[in-house]
Chain A
Amino acid sequence: MKTNPESENLDPKDVELMRFMDGLDPHDHPEWLEEKAAAQQLGQLLRSHLPSHAEPPSAEFFTSQIMAQIAPTGPARAGVSARSGFMDIFRRWCAPLATAAAVLVVGGMVMKRQSPGGGREAFAYTPIANVKATLDFNKDAGATVINLTGLTAIPDAREIKAFNVASTGAVAPGATQRFYAANDPDILLFVLHATDDGGPQIREVH
């Protein structure tokens, strides 16, 4: 690859030729008409075989992916509000993880078809061989649905806790934050804090 601009200097005559070929020189140059025609023929050949505009596959999904990733991270967003909900906090902590997961899941579109719901359905790459992902934009719901099949079932014995968490005051991203019961602000439910490598970790208290 050339990096030395000196090697790209053109002879002044070739500069004139270029300006003539690209219609920037109003003067007649009969001696260059053949070259101009050849350049135009080359341009036409390229334009007839290369698209100047082509929508990406699953174009609506393409846009929705971008919007989903930028929503929590406004470029000139005002400061965090004084009281923020759990989901806001969750998004702030987990945005990088969610982004990575989205990139993994939507690594490569391989085919698409009409879905039963009337939208377009696309298959996507998943990092686990026996897990298949289909992406379906459901027009009625106005949402993109990701269907994962082949995942290991969650054991019935697994206990899933749900808390009615109170809103808590805003803290700086990555700082330790405490969550209290909505009906009793004296009951500390769990603490969200950063691990040594900066990742989020929840420590249950109640």
Chain B
Amino acid sequence: MTGLATTDIASDGSTPAQDPADAALVLRCQAGDSRAFEPLVNRYRGKIYAMIVNMTGNDADAWDLAQEVFLKAWRALPRFEARSSFYTWIYRITHNVTYDWLRKKKISPGMEFDDTMATPDIAAGALTVPHSDERPDDRLANRELGQTIQDALKQLSPEHRSIILLKEIDGLSYQEIADTLEITLGTVMSRLFYARKKLQTLLQDYAPGRSENPQP
């Protein structure tokens, strides 16, 4: 089975998986040149921060967690053998850091919701941002829908949450998701299948779909 075509994920619209710039910077880092890490941080911090915010629904902790991701990546760079792309590798670290944080926090369905997500601090240069030029009542409705989506996401397991975010928000292919999460393609497909079904059930007023038997 082959995955979807490699997707653009960097803020500058390039394709990091095929961009030799990442590999060259990684090699310099592995040779001890810490300055080479700065462009990697600048390039991926927006993707990593957004992913953590989407996974945790928590702006304040996302800042610290994103810091932890890059520091762990720096420490692990000597062991990075470029068998996967740098962004897949750092996505994996992001997943592990976020997963550990969620496990420690013991966030379970309905237990916790951070309403700071209702007013996310989105950078001016963000590729995908909620509309801000809408009428106040539309804006309120949009914000309520955003909160409803966050509530629904929090009712998914961390595994299902991460897989649907990697697929629908980050646009990763099945293979890239499998590489990132270190799971098989079959597991990718089954988790995505059930995550979609459950979300369609939870968001049936906004995205109706066949929702019987949503969870195995």
Cβ 8 A contact of A51, one of B120, B149, B189:
B120
- Tell whether, in the assembled complex, residue A59 and residue B34 are in contact, meaning their CB atoms are under 8 Å apart: no
In the complex with contacts A39-B196, A42-B203, A42-B207, A77-B70 CB distance below 8 A = no
Measured between beta carbons, the chain B residues less than 8 angstroms from A38 are 200, 207-210
Measured between beta carbons, the chain B residues less than 8 angstroms from A73 are 75
- Tell whether, in the assembled complex, residue A75 and residue B74 are in contact, meaning their CB atoms are under 8 Å apart: yes
- Tell whether, in the assembled complex, residue B60 and residue A109 are in contact, meaning their CB atoms are under 8 Å apart: yes
Instruction: Considering the complex, give the chain A residue whose CB is closest to the CB of B31.
Output: A76
- Tell whether, in the assembled complex, residue A52 and residue B47 are in contact, meaning their CB atoms are under 8 Å apart: yes
CA–CA, A76 and B130, complex, Å: 42
Binding site secondary structure of chain B: helix
CA–CA, A50 and B168, complex, Å: 10
CA–CA, A120 and B32, complex, Å: 31
- Tell whether, in the assembled complex, residue A70 and residue B200 are in contact, meaning their CB atoms are under 8 Å apart: no
Q: Size range of the interface on B?
A: 35 or more
Measured between beta carbons, the chain A residues less than 8 angstroms from B49 are 54-56
Cβ 8 A contact of B190, one of A10, A24, A53, A75:
A10
CA–CA, A56 and B11, complex, Å: 13
Closest 9 CB pairs of A and B: A38-B209, A55-B123, A74-B32, A42-B207, A8-B190, A54-B50, A77-B32, A53-B46, A56-B49
Query: Interface residues, chain A, CB within 8 Å of chain B?
Result: 1-2, 5, 7-10, 14-15, 17-19, 22-24, 34-35, 38-39, 41-43, 45-57, 59, 62-63, 65-67, 69-71, 73-78, 103, 106-109
Query: Interface residues, chain B, CB within 8 Å of chain A?
Result: 1-2, 4, 9, 11, 29-35, 37-38, 41-42, 45-47, 49-50, 53-54, 59-60, 62-64, 66-67, 70-71, 74-75, 77-78, 120-123, 125-130, 142, 145-146, 149, 157-159, 164-165, 167-171, 174, 184, 186-187, 189-194, 196, 199-200, 203, 206-210, 216
